[in-house]
Amino acid sequence: MRNVSLFSAVFLLFFSGFSLTASADGFDDLQESDRFYEEMMFLEENEVISGYPDQTFRPAEPVTRAAAAIMIGKALQLDGEQRDTSFSDVSSSQQASGYIASAVDEGIISGYPNGTYKPYETVTRGQMAIFLSKAFKLTDEAAVPFSDISPNMAAYTFIQRITAENIAAGYPDGTYRPNDAVTRAQFSAFLARALDDRFKVEQPSYAMDQSKVYRYSADEVGTISYSFSETEPNGWNVWNTYEGGVRAEDPMVEREDSEGYYFSYLTEEGPVSIVQLLKYPAVVGQSWSINPDGTGKLTITSTTETVTTPAGTFHHVVEVTGEGGVKVYYAPNIGRIQSSINGAVMLELTELDTP
């Protein structure tokens, strides 16, 4: 994950004295209970975004391409002096002209083939991902958990990047809505997360959903099923395990932290033979060993797979490749859905039920 300490340092020097306890005094349309309140105050207090003369902030108002250039320009301390630009519809009299010119010089934004910039056109959530990825030079890519994002979209790679940086957040229904206009409140959230780690969002989990019962078809033992039992004080989630309809003596346990996802079996002595199944962030090229001697190397080789099992079709699946032709697939917020060796399926999810 990209280190944003440089930007934090810039803000510390430029905005010394900042406090997250800013109030909404003066904004008639903001309350502390509003979503993204702190993010909006962060940018307003630091003069990245401002209110209107009528004492409103207008959090639901769409952000224009001109306004986006101004706010990103101020955040990165670009030259905002008004001047002529290369765009036929942005003259030196345009308030955003300096920031637009600077952002173009930095490769953050670009115009249209007809030589226009369209400063008053609204910015979509997809375009916002592109702007921020370029502005902060993001390169890491992670699996996206949004059902309405696909690899053929122009913004796809950039949404992967803001996801890897813990900037992206979708809607409760699991969508990102890349074609929706980004509002001033949403823009504040995106930009605040890019500038300060305190505002970042949680990434998709690859642990098993504790509200579900998992049933797998296994090549060697037939049916394996798991039902959640409890979480132990040491953080391990305990799952009752049944192999071929018979309850296993040692239940399966799993846990997840900022470093990765782990699997083991619980004995009287505690978890044994702990294996790290995923290393975070879940980005292509991430590699690790499951054995202390460095053997058993695993590598994330894709975060964009679509995998169909008897339990359904899963998108944005992480593919982990191991030695000997081993491939294991993990779906966001579901967990392991399939394992294979040299293309032959050895384990796959057949049912995902609610108890």
Q: Tens of pLDDT along 200-239?
A: 987 778 999 999 999 999 987 789 999 999 999 888 999 9
Distance CA 80, CA 72 (A): 11
Is pLDDT at 18 greater than 70 in this prediction? no
Query: pLDDT exceeding 90 applies to what percent of the chain?
Result: 64
- Which of residues 5 and 268 earns the better pLDDT score? 268
Distance CA 320, CA 277 (A): 9
Collect all residues with Cβ–Cβ distance below 8 Å to 261 and sequence separation of at least 6.
206, 207, 254, 255, 276, 277, 278, 280, 330
Give the pLDDT of residue 315.
87
Nearest to 224 by CA among 254, 248, 207, 208: 248
Enter the pTM of the model. Answer: 0.61
Query: What is the overall mean pLDDT for the chain?
Result: 87
At residue 191 the predicted structure's pLDDT band, cuts being 50, 70 and 90, is very high
Collect all residues with Cβ–Cβ distance below 8 Å to 193 and sequence separation of at least 6.
39, 165, 166, 167, 199, 200, 201
Across 101-107, average pLDDT: 95
Phi-psi category of residue 51: left, alpha or beta, with phi > 0 → left and psi -120 to 50 → alpha: beta
φ and ψ of 44, to 5 deg: -70, -45
Is pLDDT at 197 greater than 70 in this prediction? yes
Give the pLDDT of residue 293.
84
The pLDDT tens digits for 145-189 are: 787 888 999 999 999 999 889 998 887 677 899 999 999 999 999
Is pLDDT at 8 greater than 60 in this prediction? no
Is pLDDT at 133 greater than 60 in this prediction? yes
Domain boundaries, the chain: 5-63+122-199, 213-353
φ and ψ of 347, to 5 deg: -150, 130
Across 322-339, average pLDDT: 95
Burial of 96 (0-12, 13-18, 19+ CB in 10 A): buried
Nearest to 4 by CA among 157, 169, 137, 188: 137
**DSSP states of 272-320 as a string?**
EEEEEEEESS-BTT-EEESSTTS-SEEEEEEEEEEEEETTEEEEEEEEE
Query: pLDDT exceeding 70 applies to what percent of the chain?
Result: 92
**Planar angle of CA 137, 204, 272, nearest 5 degrees:** 120
Give the pLDDT of residue 14.
31
Which amino acid type is present at position 158?
Answer: F
Give the pLDDT of residue 145.
74
The pLDDT tens digits for 257-308 are: 878 999 999 988 888 889 999 998 788 888 999 988 888 999 999 988 999 9
Give the pLDDT of residue 172.
67
Give the pLDDT of residue 23.
39
